[in-house]
């Protein structure tokens, strides 16, 4: 039983972490201040929440 629960919890956490384990700026202006090239993802919905 313990192994089944462990797998279920791992899968649930893994799903949420997929987009959030990258570091996203809150705004384009914030990204510009980094001095790096910018990857701007325009998407329908919320990157970290339900889209």
Partner 1 sequence: MRTVTFRDGQVKAALRDFALAWTNIAGDKTCGESFRHEPGEAAGELLRGNGEHNMQVLLLTPRGEIAHILAGYCGPKDMLDELALAKRAVAMTSERLAALHAEKARELDPGAPTADMGWCGRHWRHRAHEYMSTHALQPVADYRAEDLVGRGRSFFGAKRQ
Q: Given the rule CB under 8 A, which residues bind partner 1?
A: 11-12, 14-16, 18-28, 30-32, 34-51
The residue (of 1 and 5) whose beta carbon lies closer to partner 1 is: 5
Whole-angstrom distance, CA of residue 48 vs CA of residue 26: 12
Q: How far is the CB of 10 from partner 1 (least distance, A)?
A: 11
Sequence-separated (6 or more) residues with CB below 8 Å from residue 45: 51
Largest Cα span, the chain: 51
Q: How far is the CB of 1 from partner 1 (least distance, A)?
A: 23
Q: Could you say which DSSP state residue 1 is in?
A: -
Q: How far is the CB of 42 from partner 1 (least distance, A)?
A: 5
């Amino acid at each position: 039983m313990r192994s089944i629960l462990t797998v279920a919890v791992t899968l649930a956490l893994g799903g949420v972490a997929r987009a959030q384990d990258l570091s996203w700026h809150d705004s384009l202006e914030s990204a510009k201040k980094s001095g790096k090239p910018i990857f701007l993802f325009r998407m329908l919905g919320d990157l970290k929440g339900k889209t």
